[in-house]
C-alpha cells in the first residue's frame, strides 16, 4: 500500500508540460481571429451605413460674406460635381429646395456630367427647370472638357445654351444684380495650363475689368500659394473638384483627393485667400463619401 501511495503521489507530481499562452496558444489565436472578423464586419457595416446615408441626401451650407463693394444682399446658389446624380425624379428634391431658397443667380462650377457617360439628359432636365428660377451660369470642369474632347459629336454646351444657360467657357459677362455691376467669368483651364493662348486671351481682358469680379473656376488649386491665381484681384471664386476630401475626419477635414494628395487645402468652405474669397463646394455626386454628405452651397453677399 505504501508503494502504491507513493506512486500515486509521484504521478501527481509529474510535469504536465508547459501551457502555451498568448499568440502561441491555438485556442487564443482562434478567439482573436473571431474578434477581428467581427470587428471587420462591424466596420464594413458602419462604412456602408455612412456611405448610403451620405449619398442619399444633400445638405444646405450657408456662407455670409460682408463686402463693401456690393450693395446687397445678393444670394448665389452653387451646384458642383453632380456627376449625373439625381435627388428625386428629375432632381425634384434639388429643384424644390433651390426654388425655396430664392437665389438671385445660380452658379454651376463643373463636373455636372460624367466623362464615362454619353447621356447627359439629367443635367439638361435639371437646367431646364432651373432657368425658370434664376439666371444660370455654367463653367466647365474636367469631365465636361473630357466629354467634349473625346466625344466629338457631343453638343452638351450647345444644348445648355439653347435652354438659356450662360456657358462661360473662358469668357465673361457683365451683369446687373440688384443694381450691382458684376463681371462673372468662367475659367476652363487646368492648373498648369494657365498660360495657354486661349486662356490668356480671355484673362487679359477680364482681369482689367473694374466691376466686382465673380469667377467660376472648377479647381481651387489655382488659389494655392503656388497657384496662378494666388493674390489676384478676383473678389470671389466659386470652386469644386476636390469633393470635400472624400472621407472627412472630424477635426482634421478631408482625407484625400488624387489631384491634391492627403489632407488637401481648400477642400471645402469659404476662405479668404489674400484678397479673394474662395468658396469651395464638396459637390453633390461622384465618389464614395464618408462623413461628407452632398452639398448645396448658398452664398449671401452683403
Contact criterion met (CB below 8 Å) for 280 and 43: no
Cα 55 to Cα 44: distance, rounded to the nearest angstrom: 16
Is the alpha carbon torsion for 292, 296, 297, 300 positive or negative?
A: negative
**Residue listed under C-alpha cell 488624387:** 258
Helices 121-130 and 156-163: angle between axes, nearest 10 degrees: 20
- Per-residue model confidence as pLDDT tens digits over 203-230: 999 999 999 999 999 999 999 999 999 9
The confidence score (pLDDT) of residue 46 equals 53
Task: Choose among 259, 247, 250, 261: nearest CA to 292.
Answer: 247
The confidence score (pLDDT) of residue 4 equals 39
Output the CA–CA distances (angstroms, integers) from residue 203 to 107, 125, 199, 238, 270, in the order listed. 19, 31, 6, 17, 24
Tally the residues of the chain.
302
The confidence score (pLDDT) of residue 13 equals 47
Question: How many CB atoms sit inside 10 A of residue 175's CB?
Answer: 17
The confidence score (pLDDT) of residue 183 equals 98
pTM of the full structure: 0.82
**Residue listed under C-alpha cell 466629354:** 147
The confidence score (pLDDT) of residue 262 equals 94
Secondary-structure class of domain 59-301 per CATH: alpha beta
The confidence score (pLDDT) of residue 54 equals 54
The confidence score (pLDDT) of residue 41 equals 61
**Residue listed under C-alpha cell 456662407:** 63
Low-confidence ranges of the chain (pLDDT < 70): 1-24, 37-56, 150-153
The confidence score (pLDDT) of residue 52 equals 52
The confidence score (pLDDT) of residue 300 equals 98
The confidence score (pLDDT) of residue 45 equals 47
Contact criterion met (CB below 8 Å) for 192 and 199: no
* DSSP 8-state assignment for residue 271: E
- Per-residue model confidence as pLDDT tens digits over 59-94: 999 999 999 999 989 999 999 999 999 999 999 999
Q: What are phi and psi of 292, to 5 degrees?
A: -155, 65
Amino acid at each position: 500500500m505504501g508503494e502504491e501511495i507513493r506512486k500515486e503521489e509521484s504521478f501527481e507530481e509529474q510535469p504536465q508540460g508547459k501551457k502555451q499562452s498568448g499568440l502561441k496558444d491555438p485556442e487564443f489565436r482562434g478567439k482573436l481571429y473571431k474578434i477581428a472578423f467581427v470587428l471587420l464586419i462591424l466596420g464594413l457595416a458602419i462604412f456602408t451605413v455612412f456611405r448610403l446615408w451620405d449619398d442619399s441626401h444633400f445638405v444646405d451650407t450657408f456662407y455670409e460674406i460682408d463686402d463693401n463693394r456690393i450693395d446687397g444682399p445678393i444670394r448665389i446658389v452653387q451646384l458642383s460635381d453632380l456627376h449625373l446624380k439625381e435627388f428625386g425624379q428629375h432632381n425634384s428634391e434639388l429643384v424644390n429646395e433651390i426654388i425655396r431658397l430664392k437665389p438671385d443667380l445660380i452658379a454651376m462650377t463643373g463636373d455636372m456630367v460624367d466623362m464615362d457617360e454619353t447621356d447627359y439628359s439629367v443635367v439638361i432636365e435639371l437646367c431646364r427647370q432651373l432657368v425658370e428660377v434664376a439666371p444660370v451660369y455654367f463653367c466647365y470642369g474636367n469631365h465636361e472638357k473630357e466629354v467634349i474632347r473625346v466625344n466629338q459629336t457631343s453638343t452638351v454646351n450647345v444644348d445648355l445654351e439653347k435652354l438659356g444657360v450662360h456657358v462661360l467657357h473662358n469668357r465673361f459677362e457683365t451683369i446687373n444684380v440688384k443694381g450691382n455691376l458684376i463681371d462673372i467669368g468662367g475659367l476652363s483651364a487646368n492648373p498648369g495650363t494657365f498660360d495657354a493662348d486661349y486662356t490668356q486671351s480671355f484673362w487679359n481682358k477680364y482681369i482689367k475689368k473694374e466691376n466686382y469680379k465673380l469667377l467660376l473656376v472648377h479647381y481651387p488649386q489655382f488659389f494655392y500659394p503656388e497657384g496662378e491665381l494666388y493674390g489676384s484681384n478676383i473678389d470671389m471664386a466659386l470652386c469644386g473638384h476636390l469633393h470635400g476630401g472624400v472621407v472627412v475626419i472630424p477635426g482634421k477635414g478631408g482625407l484625400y483627393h488624387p489631384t491634391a494628395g492627403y489632407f488637401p487645402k481648400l477642400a471645402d468652405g469659404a476662405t479668404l485667400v489674400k484678397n479673394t474669397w474662395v468658396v469651395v463646394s464638396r459637390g453633390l455626386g461622384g465618389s464614395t463619401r464618408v462623413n461628407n454628405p452632398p452639398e448645396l452651397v448658398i452664398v449671401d453677399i452683403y
